[in-house]
Structure 1
Amino acid sequence: MPPKLPIPTLSTTRRAILPIPRQPTLKNPPQPPLNPLLPLQQPTTPPPSRRFSSTPQPQFLSSFSSLPQPPPKTLSAQKTLPYPPSKIYSLISDINSYSLFLPHCTHSLITQTTPPPFHLPSLADLTVGYGPLTQSYTSHVYCIPSPEKYIVEAISGNADSSIPLSILSKHGYDINSAEGRKKTDGGIFERLVTRWEVLPVGQEEQKSDVRLRVTFQFANPVLGFAAGGVADMKIDEMVEAFERRARVLFGGNKGDKGRL
């Protein structure tokens, strides 16, 4: 009989199972190394919300609401022109032509006259502009064609005519209208009086002594302060414009006497 081979026996030795260590969790994971050839990327965080205030901004002109009203200002000019008083009067009373030669006057229209037989201007609309500002207003007009003293007077706002009512009535003007009219100009002027006087020079019928007096006060104090600085220059421009117009219509030379 063949010999019996030994039967291998299985080892019962158990292998120890070692626990796998757990990697610690990092709060801030490591960043990859920076590449100097690539631009840095900024973190994409949403922009903070912007709050818009609903508080109204103060108006510019509101700061002028407490300005005191400037007092009325009076300017005057006088000049001798080598033309008969009747011609100078006809030029001044022709309000419809003002926009043709007066600086900054863009519209001029006689809207009402006295009844026949006088047909004298009694109401007129004017529009003046200087730079970005344009203003329109209405004036009551009184024309007195007296050879001793020609008068053309235009008033607006709360101003009163300096011409006696008896003389106004004599030339066809409504006395009740002259006493009762107020604020027909739309409120731009608190008062405005423009008065022209044309008188003969001594015994010379071909020369005129021309006098202009303007008294004004704006209803808005802002306009009053703004216009006060340039008013002196404007009255000189006004008289010079009438003088140039007289040369165009009546001819003559520049050697007239007088100075503004």
Structure 2
Amino acid sequence: MPTHAERRVLPYTQQQLYDLVADVAKYPEFLPWCLAARIREKTDAHIRADLIIGYKLVRERFTSNVALNPGAFRIDVAYAEGPFKYLNNHWMFHPVPETPGATELDFFVDFEFHNRMLQKIIETLFNEAVKRMVAAFEGRARALYG
């Protein structure tokens, strides 16, 4: 059951980072292992999306429900269907009073696959994979916002 929590201060506004993470349809443009994204439903408060993730010969589709809370600058992701037993993920964006224009990113992910072999593979790669994923969001922010 890999779990990862990370806090990082980034030189972007809460709104910029929130908008970047909430734009699920763009994930295949910059996120490692995200091969495709399809938005099934979208409102101001909710996204239901299918993502196809792949690594080498492994390719899986999963559906998640994304709860958007723009007033609190919080995004919660809940697993709906696919290869996981469960998936919990949140993104929170806090202002940094001593550094105007900077935001503290609070990221958490916890999941487990149904397939034991896939679970064992991801456990060996998990920390590096999550670091690359967070770095990809940071790189996307740099590309979009300078």
> Same fold by TM-score, threshold 0.5 exceeded?
yes
Equivalent position to 1:151, from 74, 81, 90: 74
CA-to-aligned-CA distance 1:201-230 (integer Å, 9 cap, x gap)? 125440000011110011122211111010
Aligned to 2:25: 96
Let me know the Cα RMSD of the aligned residues. Answer: 1.3
SS at match of 1:235: helix
Task: Please say which of residues 223-232 and 202-211 is displaced more in the overlay.
Answer: 202-211
Classify the secondary structure of the residue corresponding to 1:140: strand
1:85, 1:205 within 8 Å by CA — same for their partners in 2?
no
TM-score, scaled to structure 2: 0.94
SS of aligned partner of 2:76: strand
Distance (whole Å) between structure 2 residues aligned to residue 150 and residue 221 of structure 1:
35
Counterparts of residues 123-142 of structure 1 (less than 5 Å): 123-142=48-67
| Residue 202 (structure 1) aligned with residue 127 (structure 2) | no
- Answer yes or no: is the 8 Å Cα contact 2:2–2:126 preserved in 1: no
1:1-260 equivalent positions in 2, closer than 5 A: 72-114=1-43, 119-146=44-71, 149-156=72-79, 184-186=80-82, 188-202=83-97, 204-251=99-146
Identity across the alignment (%):
30
Taking the aligned partners of 1:80 and 1:204, their CA distance within structure 2 comes to 10
Higher helix share: 2
Point out which structure has higher relative CO (alpha carbons under 8 A, 6+ apart): 2
TM-score, normalised to structure 1, is: 0.54
- Spell out, residue by residue over 1:171-201, the C-alpha distance to the aligned partner (whole angstroms, 9 max, x if none): xxxxxxxxxxxxx413x10000121111101
Give deviations 1:42-72, integer Å, cap 9, x for gaps: xxxxxxxxxxxxxxxxxxxxxxxxxxxxxx3
SS of the equivalent of 1:229 reads helix
In 1, Cα distance between the equivalents of 2:125 and 2:75? 24
Q: Structure 2: how far apart are the matches of 1:213 and 1:80?
A: 15
Unaligned stretches of 5+ in structure 2? none
Question: Following TM superposition, by how much is the alpha carbon of 1:110 offset from its aligned partner in structure 2, in angstroms?
Answer: 1.9
Higher Rg of the two aligned structures: 1
What amino acid is aligned across from residue 53 of structure 2 in structure 1?
V
Q: Which runs of 5+ in 1 are unaligned?
A: 1-71, 157-183, 252-260
Measured in 2, the distance between the counterparts of 1:122 and 1:220 equals 26
- CA distance 1:143–1:205, shift in 2 (3 Å): farther
Deviations 1:89-143 (A, max 9, x none): 00000000000000111101221123xxxx3332011001101111110001101
Specify the code of the residue in structure 2 equivalent to 1:88: L
Number of residue pairs matched by the alignment: 146
Partners of 1:90 and 1:194 lie apart in 2 by 17
Q: Does the aligned pair in 1 maintain the 2:4–2:109 contact within 8 Å? A: yes
CA contact (8 A) 1:110 1:121 kept: no
| Alpha-carbon separation, structure 2, partners of 1:125 and 1:240 | 22
2:112 and 2:97 mapped to 1: Cα distance?
A: 35
